[in-house]
Structure 1
Amino acid sequence: MELNEYPRPANDTGIGVHWTVGYAAAVGLSKIREIWIPELKAMGVKWVKVFNHDGALDFCELLLAEGLMPIVRLYRPSPNPGRLGVKELVHIDSLIRSGVHYFEFNNEPDVDAEWKGGRVPVNGLDITVENTIATLEVILERGGMPAIPALSNGSRWDLVGRIVAAGRRDLFDGPVWQAVHNYARNRPLDYPYDIGNQEGAAFTERFYRAVAAEPWQADAWRGRTLAEVNRIRYDRRNPGATIADDHACWLAYEHFDALNRKHLGRSLPILATECGYIVGEDTDPRYPATTPDLHMAQTLESCRVMMGTSQRFKHAPDYYFCTSFWLLANAMLGSTSAWWEGQAWYSERWPGDALPIV
């Protein structure tokens, strides 16, 4: 199946969001229709990732009626090892009849927390490949478009390669796509090709002070002086590094596309089902932690990348269909899981109940 045969929303921007971690319609469809749909449209959102909890069917029908494309995760806690049950199959059939196309059925199977028992077994990759093949078949038979499961940020698993090695290249003749979690961490959008990673280029005092002066809940430099930051940048530089060396970044889709072309001789559609920047993230000490203002600037620029209007970075390739920025809202969309509140764009924790990006 060719890239141009996969459905996309009208007037596609490539901008998508991860709706919430709870029930899709927990706050009620009327409130979603009156408040949240206009918010999505004002931000240029065209794709929405949701879970298949109760209320998802009506919510997806609303999205489709409003010109938005849903991506549905068939949620199961600790889904590995395992396959879809009757409940999930019934949901798939109902959603397909309503016009939903894109389905996820697993999540980061390379991570301990996604396995019953809390640990990836030694043969976890083999088990995942076996169950992925079986589930792809089931969803394809029903007329859905299933995803190759998204892996954790920077994972070295190669599911497409292993499926092909298992003799099931034929599955990719159907409308299969690949999910990615291309979280940027606190790295720039062009990492690993940015001048900081390649050459260890120093930050200016002006930039250092501007970031340090932003009033928010923490210190973006984590107590490090400008001299200390620049020393770390120089000591940890990686001249000549490519996406094959480190794909724990926004450009992770380039890594997976290279693997897909290696195994299949062509690209698969790649859709982010989680991605972007998270306020407070400070994984890489060569860069400042993500402040609310940095979150806004970097997320806005990534939207320009998707729309092909960025003046700073190369535009998104045709195979990279959409983002799914984590996380639109948590409590404000009815989720009772307080764990995620600090990562939500809309939250009472932020001044004005929202991050600057909105």
Structure 2
Amino acid sequence: MRIEDFPRPRDDNGRGLHWSTLLYNDAVTPSIDHWVDQLRAMKIKWLKVLDDGGGSAMALCRKLVAADIMPVIRFYFPQLNPHRMSGREMETVSRYVEFGVRYFEANNEPDLPAEWRNNSRPFNWLDVVVENFIRDADGVLARGGLLALPPMGPGSSDNPVSLVVQKGRRDLFENGCWVAIHNYTLNHPLDYPDDPVNQTGQPVTQAEYDELAAWAHSDLTYDEIVAQGIPISAEDYGKFNRWGWDGRPREIVNETRARNKNPGATILDDANCFRGFEAAGKMIHDALGFYVPVISTEGGAVVGWGDDNRYAKMNPTTHKEAMLEITRFMQSRAPAWYFACCTWLIASKPLGDFNPTWDQMSWYTDAWNL
């Protein structure tokens, strides 16, 4: 299959989201139709959806297909590795394919011990994962589905594509298999690792430090809060100060930037960023000599993340700015083989998931309101 032979939604713009973390959609409020309307209003064209292996997301996906939104189905099982798809899951693939669902995932971040039974990842884990992928891919392709090479954890440098080729199964990528990635931004800028903080240790100015420090819950200044009559004291608002830096003084931030700069670093040295898709593309082309579709089945910016202490945490304002730029990039500048970025995460509580961690990461949430 050529890139242009892979199915894409009508009026595709590369814009995607990740649906709920739940396997079942019987507690969605106010209704699934409401959320499909929200997706259409945002012009979302791809949606990552979890399924229990028996078609638990089928009713939702029928509505998505009718709305010209392309589902990407992940068959979810906790600590699933080592795992091969069962006859039940293969039959579910056939049922999905009948009404236009084509993209499937059967594994998730197998480079992480947490994705293995008893948190025990064997020394030959990659060989096990690739052998199981080959077996699963034969079954999925035979049923008209398109199976993803499993996504590794953010920033992974493992190259499972080359191992598939070494095992004599390059044909899988010639006949419909694609590559899933998880290119979260963390709290890195979108041009990372080429940005001046990473390359040269550029110090943060007092003005920039102050601007990014205080937005734990709101993009409002205290004067704007007073004007709107929101009942919060200046003292309480002041407690938010330096949240974005986890309380680190500007001097410490700049010392860290100077000490941890990485002159000359490229995406191949550190793919823990949105541009991780570039590393995936090189991995694919080096192994195959051609490209197959890459889809971010998780990724993008997440409010509250602050993994790299040279940068401020991602706040609601910087999250919005990052996601707008990612959306523009996907719509007009993404390589032809980078199909979509299914950003984590549309919503939690309204979709029946009351896990506070997921709620804080959601687009539709009150977690960051004053």
1:330 aligns with 2:348: yes
Partner of 2:5: 5
1:260 aligns with 2:284: yes
SS in 1 for 2:71: strand
Partner of 1:312: none
The correspondence for 1:241, drawn from 244, 247, 265, is 265
1:99 aligns with 2:136: no
Partner of 1:62: 63
Q: What is the alpha-carbon distance in structure 2 between the residues aligned to residue 351 and residue 26 of structure 1?
A: 27
Q: Which moved more, 1:63-72 or 1:36-45?
A: 36-45
SS in 1 for 2:208: helix
Query: Is the CA contact 1:23–1:335 (under 8 Å) kept in the aligned structure 2?
Result: no
SS in 1 for 2:183: strand
1:200-239 correspondence to structure 2 within 5 Å: 200-216=201-217, 219-239=243-263
Partner of 1:51: 50
Partner of 2:152: 151
Contiguous gaps of at least 5 residues in structure 2: 219-239
Deviation of 1:28 (Å): 5.3
Deviation of 1:221 (Å): 0.9
Q: What is the alpha-carbon distance in structure 1 between the residues aligned to residue 176 and residue 129 of structure 2?
A: 20
Deviation of 1:337 (Å): 4.1
Q: What is the alpha-carbon distance in structure 2 between the residues aligned to residue 24 and residue 316 of structure 1?
A: 33
SS in 1 for 2:31: helix
1:170-189 correspondence to structure 2 within 5 Å: 170-189=171-190
Q: What is the alpha-carbon distance in structure 1 between the residues aligned to residue 28 and residue 259 of structure 2?
A: 53
Deviation of 1:196 (Å): 1.2
Q: Which moved more, 1:213-222 or 1:120-129?
A: 213-222
Deviation of 1:122 (Å): 0.8
1:18-57 correspondence to structure 2 within 5 Å: 18-27=18-27, 31-33=31-33, 35-53=34-52, 55-57=56-58
2:40 aligned partner, one-letter code: K
Deviation of 1:198 (Å): 1.1
Deviation of 1:156 (Å): 2.3
Q: What is the alpha-carbon distance in structure 2 between the residues aligned to residue 40 and residue 143 of structure 1?
A: 26
Instruction: Specify whether residues 180 and 139 from structure 1 end up closer, same or farther in structure 2 by C-alpha distance, changes over 3 A only.
Output: same
Instruction: Specify whether residues 271 and 24 from structure 1 end up closer, same or farther in structure 2 by C-alpha distance, changes over 3 A only.
Output: farther
CA RMSD of aligned residues (A): 1.7
Q: What is the alpha-carbon distance in structure 1 between the residues aligned to residue 25 and residue 322 of structure 2?
A: 29
Partner of 1:343: 361
SS in 2 for 1:50: strand
Deviation of 1:13 (Å): 1.5
Q: What is the alpha-carbon distance in structure 1 between the residues aligned to residue 352 and residue 215 of structure 2?
A: 30
Q: What is the alpha-carbon distance in structure 1 between the residues aligned to residue 352 and residue 317 of structure 2?
A: 26
Deviation of 1:349 (Å): 2.3
Q: What is the alpha-carbon distance in structure 2 between the residues aligned to residue 70 and residue 204 of structure 1?
A: 44
Q: What is the alpha-carbon distance in structure 2 between the residues aligned to residue 143 and residue 213 of structure 1?
A: 51
Instruction: Specify whether residues 177 and 264 from structure 1 end up closer, same or farther in structure 2 by C-alpha distance, changes over 3 A only.
Output: same
Partner of 2:235: none
Question: Rg: which structure is higher?
Answer: 2
Q: What is the alpha-carbon distance in structure 2 between the residues aligned to residue 149 and residue 80 of structure 1?
A: 12
Identity over aligned pairs, percent = 39
SS in 2 for 1:13: coil
Query: Is the CA contact 1:22–1:336 (under 8 Å) kept in the aligned structure 2?
Result: no
2:38 aligned partner, one-letter code: E
1:300 aligns with 2:324: yes
2:258 aligned partner, one-letter code: Y
Q: What is the alpha-carbon distance in structure 1 between the residues aligned to residue 93 and residue 354 of structure 2?
A: 26
SS in 2 for 1:207: helix
Contiguous gaps of at least 5 residues in structure 1: 309-314, 353-358
Instruction: Specify whether residues 122 and 158 from structure 1 end up closer, same or farther in structure 2 by C-alpha distance, changes over 3 A only.
Output: same
Instruction: Specify whether residues 196 and 142 from structure 1 end up closer, same or farther in structure 2 by C-alpha distance, changes over 3 A only.
Output: same
Which digits, 9 at most, give the CA deviation of each residue in 1:26-82, with x for residues without a partner?
23598121x212211222211000012454111111001011110000112212101
Matched residues, number: 345
Which digits, 9 at most, give the CA deviation of each residue in 1:196-241, with x for residues without a partner?
1111112222211111232528500111222221221122111111
Instruction: Specify whether residues 29 and 61 from structure 1 end up closer, same or farther in structure 2 by C-alpha distance, changes over 3 A only.
Output: farther
Q: What is the alpha-carbon distance in structure 1 between the residues aligned to residue 366 and residue 246 of structure 2?
A: 25
